[in-house]
A and B are shown apart, each in its own frame.
Chain A
Amino acid sequence: MAVNSVKKDENTALADKTKTILRLAKYLLNYKGTIFIVLLVIAVATAITLVNPLIMEYAVNVCIVNKDYEAIYRVVIIALILNLVLFGAVKARMYLMAKISNKILVTVRDELYTHLQKLGLKFYDSLPAGKILSRVIEDVNSLKGVLQDLVVTLLPQFITLSAVLVIMFIKNPILAAATLVSTPLLIAGLLYIKIKCSELWHTHSKKSSNLSGVIHEDISGMRIIQGFAAESETESAFDTAEKEHWESFRDAVKIGDLFNSIIEFTTMLSTVCMYYVAVKVLGITSASVGTLIAFATYAGMIWHPISQLGNLYTNLVRNVARANRIFEVIDTEPEVFDREGATELPEISGQVEFKNVSFSYDDKKGVLDNVSFTVKPGETIALVGPTGAGKSTIANLISRFYDIKQGQILIDGHDLTSVTVESLRKQMGVMTQDNFLFTGTIAENIRYGKLDATQEEIEAAAKAVNAHEFIMKLEKGYETELQERGAGLSVGQRQLLAFARTMVSMPKILILDEATSSIDTQNEILVQKGIAQLLKGRTSFVIAHRLSTIKNADRIFVVDHGRIVEAGSHNELMEKKGEYYNLCMAQAV
């Protein structure tokens, strides 16, 4: 998947609609029993709706014409009872459907979210957060209507339509034929809309997603926007996104709104035909006026199901595009997952081995080129080298954020792909350059590393990384609520908290990817002392640029252009007078 920016449309395919609808229908099948009841209730309701005009016809043609008061009362009471039953049926239908559709919504959202948790970083790297978010919230919500329609509209309206047609033909075939003369026109018109609209709504849903992406990114980057006084620039980008959003909507409704007009037009044709035929051909007289009126009511009833079915179709087209976006995510194969037969990684001692590992993020540009090394348990390894040389990649691979295509990575002799991801990462502590803190208290954030950590453990970890002091200076200490991403704390303080979070998990293998870059030197020394204490005998990988951090490592790997060009202790490498020596000399200036 290529990286998608907020300004660009996503590459979602205009997938097979029938497939998507069937897939949605599958969710409904889980509620077979309830749906059966709903359909039964609808059948009762439909029957009553269909009988209503017959009752009216009887009341006019028989009771009123015969001046029979009692018959009128009887008819009215029957009608009232029937309609109260109808009232109950409508209630039952609404309640049951609300329950089913809301439940399915929860299920789909749950499935989507569960899958999102399984997806690897490659997926998250390729799609802006706002766009992923819009799938979880908006797209899922929009399914509600479709699900209800599928049950309440599709089958029942189809049956109503057929029933009305049958009644009409039984009552008077000639009149029925006259009324239906305009249907081919209707079908042609609806087909036209159907074909035109599906693509247009698809485009609109992409533009809508772009708009979400722009909003999300601008809000996240507000500090930069204001700092660059770039408000007018982001405004114009926002304006463009909005304009495209509106234009795509306009294009879609331009065609979509023809729908009611087409119905209006065909209704008109059929009304004219019906009365013309009734008077001129059939010569209807006053005796059968009741029949004509009932017939007209039925004729009116054709358009309702047709327009409902048409609306259902428009809604389907609109929302199937959204459903597709959800299913597309659910169908994305996680690139890192537990292989069949993957076993729990037993408690490890911390040996790490790379065997001829080559790696590329995008299958084009190689990042690591045939890297091999073995790290003994308890060793501290420093990775140094120019930015972009592949240091972070090595770190990412050890914790299996990405899977390799060539070579093998072994931990305590276990191939990474043969063990479960969770059992692996539970024993790893990774601190990246990106230290994300969650909204919640400081204690909660530290506890993230070990969910059952006691207050003592939390404080011990914070003390070890020298974060305790500044935490205690805050008004509420460990119970201070953090804002999003830890806003309000300095970058260095955030790094210390993230550090404490990693420490509390007591990992067997620790990976520090420039974990101390924003911490001042005094603190850094204290932090290092603290973790050295905690991590005695644990394997660690440290990526850093400061010499002071690197020097104490057992071995130093110098990485350049995806290969390890030098390895050895500080003294060994200094004697060698190679790359590392040059690096040290540069810093000492």
Chain B
Amino acid sequence: MKKLIKYVLKHRFTYIFAILCLFIGTIADNIRPQLIKDIVDEVIEGGKPDLLPRLLISIAAIGLLRTFTQYFKEFLFDITGVKVGNEVRFDLFKHIQKLSLNYFDKANTGELLARLKNDIDSLAFGGVGFIIMLAIEILLHTGIVIYCMFGLSPKLAIFPLCVLPFGVALAIVLEKKLDTVYDNLSEENAEMNTVAQEDIAGVRTVKAFSRENYELEKFRRHNKKYYELSMKLSKVLVRYEPLFDLITRILPIGAILIGGRMVISGDISLGTLTAFVAYCDMLVWPMECIGWVSNEIASAFASYKKIKKVANEVPMIEAPADPVVLPEVKGSVEFDNVTFTLDNKDILKDISFSLPAGKTLGIMGATGSGKTSILTLLFRFYDANKGTVKLDGVDVKDLSLTQLRQSIAQVSQDVFLFSDTISENVRFGKHEGVSDEVVRKCLEMAQATEFVDNLSEKEETVIGERGVGLSGGQKQRISIARALAKNAPILVLDDSTSALDTETELEIQGVLNSLTDTTKIIIGHRISAVRKADEIIVLKDGAIAERGTHEELLALRGLYYETYCAQYGEVA
């Protein structure tokens, strides 16, 4: 992400135009009391009624001018603020997409959502939009009013000059105080977000255990803490904000006190004093707003700090500076003495295999033995600590990350579908290039057409987030169709037929076997899923315990054989 100022500068012309409108409008606003003073002093007291039309026309002209400038400055600041916010959001989103999976394994969805949504909204409003306009206007307006006061009577103007710095000092103190409170508040906001988001995403579990009240209590604790922090915030505001108001009230009183003596002693005219009091009135709104403005700015920058923290996360997997781009990916995969450690835990130990293009590798092993980690390394979601992973003979670390990932189609264990139509889900990742016919064909290959055709709108049926509403087997089949539609040289199936009934599984295996050009890696618990593989490796605690073809492994009478017996009973 770039620096905030860069985003703002991109819209410099809009901002300049808006600020210009603001200048013109503010200056015009400050001419008005002068004109009114002329009406009082010249027309009424001085008895020159012919001046009236000219003065009134001037007032009308200023009013008209301001009608337009007010609109433009507000509208432009409003829309540009949100636009800049959205640009920051877009870049932050792009950045988040680049982060490695280790980050997502640890980060919270609720928290990231709060950064991308609430914090950016707050930045757009308080950091680059409406509030900044107000801040500029307050400064400018106050400056001009004081300048005009000097014009009327330098002696009298000393008084507001003495009082106003208190206002500024107050605003600075307020901003500082609010900053810490906002830090805590937005922290708590993210925490509450996380609790709520877990309860919503895990609603099935909550309901199954009838833990609604338990969750409610958990949420209530956060809700209460949020209330306490909100009150803390309010107390800061209550302490400081009324002071601004008080300052504005004291100004005209002081002006009367000091100015009154000056009128009596003949230093200034009555008209000058009334104009001066009118200027004092003009300081009321900026002072009234200043508390609110400091409040919003503090909140915006508290948010910005958090946004920056996410933006400063460095992706663990770095794309090579000068990536190798293969003219054509054939699909041979090689693991050469690969060792992988994560959080001081050995996940994979010295794994080697070589899978020529078009062949099939089967991987078996107990839960947690490292099967999926092999895929994680192939995708380069993580980097191996020792050894190399190669695609078509090239170290994956040197390959273009996009090309690498585009070359592998994966059906993962944990099926994630998007809340969109079935056909959009199948098309995912190759949006433009997949025709309706191909979608249809892939669904057919994945044995999904039968149930899809039974849905009210067939392929165009919208499925819920994570595919809610579909059974596990249905989700798996759509996920298989999605991988087939990717038409990649390597196909990876991670225990992806576990929720399918035997018949469907057999049909799908038949289809997969017919893809003779595709390199396949199949992870499974069922012998039936891997038995036809050219090589099967059996993992135990992250190391290869057994390897060979189905027949060889049976003859070995080891782990594979045991599994076979458990599934099929004793066979020769």
Contacts and interface: CB of A to CB of B under 8 A. Distances in A.
A133 B113 contact: yes
Contacts of B197: 129, 133, 216
Interface stretch (B142-150, B301-309, B464-472): B464-472
A113 B541 CA distance: 44
A60 B273 CA distance: 9
Interface in A518-539: 518-525
Interface string A266-277: 011101100110
B238 A246 contact: no
Given A215-B117, A227-B379, A521 B566 contact: yes
A99 B233 CA distance: 11
A121 B201 CA distance: 11
B429 interface: yes
Interface string B87-114: 0011001101110010011111110111
B13 interface: no
Given A227-B405, A279-B52, A289-B274, A102 B117 contact: no
B173 interface: no
Given A286-B44, A545-B499, 17 more contacts: A72-B261, A102-B227, A124-B200, A137-B114, A239-B90, A242-B89, A243-B86, A253-B75, A276-B56, A388-B473, A388-B474, A434-B205, A491-B413, A491-B414, A517-B472, A518-B498, A546-B526
A292 B466 contact: no
Nearest to A91: B242
B273 to A, nearest CB: 7
A425 interface: yes
B256 interface: yes
Interface string B13-43: 0000000000000000000000010011001
Interface stretch (B3-11, B76-84, B158-166): B76-84
B502 A583 contact: yes
B263 interface: yes
Interface stretch (B210-218, B332-340, B513-521, B543-551): B210-218
A243 B198 CA distance: 29
A306 B464 CA distance: 47
A98 interface: yes
Nearest to B224: A106
B39 A279 contact: yes
B246 interface: yes
A220 B264 contact: no
A219 B113 contact: yes
Interface residues of A, number: 184
B205 A435 contact: yes
A483 interface: yes
Interface in B264-321: 264, 270-271, 273-274, 277-278, 281
22 contacts: A6-B420, A63-B260, A80-B253, A87-B246, A116-B199, A117-B206, A128-B419, A219-B113, A222-B104, A226-B97, A246-B86, A267-B63, A271-B59, A286-B45, A293-B278, A428-B208, A431-B208, A484-B109, A520-B366, A521-B526, A545-B500, A547-B567
B113 A83 contact: no
B198 A521 contact: no
Contact of B113 (A76, A130, A384): A130
Interface string B333-374: 000000000011100000000000000000011111101100
Given A235-B93, A439-B198, A228 B405 contact: yes
Nearest to A387: B473
A523 B563 CA distance: 10
Given A91-B242, A124-B200, A128-B465, A387 B506 contact: no
Given A106-B227, A137-B118, A238-B90, A425 B207 contact: yes
**5 closest Cβ contacts across the A-B interface?**
A268-B63, A387-B473, A492-B367, A98-B234, A228-B429
A169 interface: no
Contacts of A137: 114, 118, 189, 192-193, 196
Contacts of A520: 364-367, 369, 525, 563
Nearest to B371: A490
B203 interface: yes
B68 A364 contact: no
B194 interface: yes
Interface in A330-382: 361-362, 364-365
A191 to B, nearest CB: 18
Contacts of B464: 3, 5, 125-126, 128
B184 interface: no
A438 B502 contact: no
A499 to B, nearest CB: 11
Contact of B82 (A75, A249, A269, A296): A249
A306 B196 CA distance: 40
A490 to B, nearest CB: 5
A249 B106 contact: no
Interface residues of B, number: 174
Contacts of B418: 5-6, 217, 221
Contacts of B106: 483, 487
A106 B223 contact: yes
B393 interface: no
Nearest to B277: A56
B237 interface: yes
A95 interface: yes
A99 B473 CA distance: 52
Interface string A1-23: 01111111000000000000000
Interface in B526-567: 526, 528, 559, 562-563, 566-567
Most buried by B among A114, A428, A436: A436
B180 interface: no
A234 B465 contact: no
Contacts of B56: 272, 275-276
Contacts of B93: 215, 218, 235, 238
A387 B471 CA distance: 7
Contact of B210 (A90, A249, A425): A425
A87 B525 contact: no
Nearest to A423: B210
B237 A98 contact: yes
Nearest to B32: A271
A280 interface: yes
Interface string A64-85: 1101010011011001100110
Contacts of B208: 399, 425, 428-432
Most buried by B among A6, A221, A490: A490
Given A76-B257, A279-B52, A433-B499, A548 B402 contact: no
B444 interface: no
B506 A79 contact: no
A227 B101 CA distance: 10
Given A125-B468, A217-B465, A95 B117 contact: no
Contacts of A431: 208
A231 to B, nearest CB: 5
A99 B44 contact: no
A136 interface: yes
A513 B471 CA distance: 10
Most buried by A among B89, B209, B264: B209
A95 B236 CA distance: 10
Interface in A393-443: 399, 401, 421-422, 424-426, 428-439
B202 interface: yes
A124 B224 CA distance: 25
A571 interface: no
B135 interface: no
B263 to A, nearest CB: 5
A229 B410 CA distance: 11
Contact of B45 (A126, A289, A424): A289
A225 interface: yes
B416 A60 contact: no
B281 A297 contact: yes
Contact of A95 (B206, B234, B477): B234
B429 A233 contact: yes
A230 interface: yes
